Amino acid sequence: GESVGLHLPTLSVQEGDNSIINCAYSNSASDYFIWYKQESGKGPQFIIDIRSNMDKRQGQRVTVLLNKTVKHLSLQIAATQPGDSAVYFCAEKAGNTPLVFGKGTRLSVIA
């Protein structure tokens, strides 16, 4: 799991390296997953989503991996840039139920 505020997990990455942010979910019925990025002073921004019939999906510089066996979701960011510094959190959805959000991981990019 993740946490926010004073207990927010932080990932520090050198500029140019790849970043991997992880998310564990608990509902085995979840069939839709989203990654969001939230910069300071802004609302969450949609990055990428994946449905449970897939285990990998790629976007621009980002890849989401889904492992339903262990209920694990990850976001990979290639060639991390200073503009990638933000809080990242995952969200899951099961059927018609509302999205459930994780607490977030803070990504700090070291120039």
Residue 34 engages other proteins in binding (rule: CB under 8 A): yes
Residue carrying structure tokens 């990932």: 11
The window from 19-27, 28-36, 64-72, 74-82 that contacts other proteins (CB under 8 A) reads 28-36
d(CA 104, CA 45): 13
Q: Does 45 bind other proteins (CB under 8 A)?
A: yes
Say whether residue 57 binds other proteins (CB under 8 A). Answer: no
**Is residue 44 part of the contact set for other proteins (CB under 8 A)?**
yes
Determine the Cα angle at 84 with ends 40 and 27, to 5°.
Answer: 80
- Quick count: other Cβ atoms within 10 Å of Cβ 108? 14
3-state secondary structure of 54: coil
Distance in Å, CB of 58 to other proteins, minimum = 16
Task: Catalog residues that contact other proteins under the rule CB under 8 A.
Answer: 3-7, 31-32, 34, 36, 41-46, 49, 51, 89, 93, 95-96, 98-104
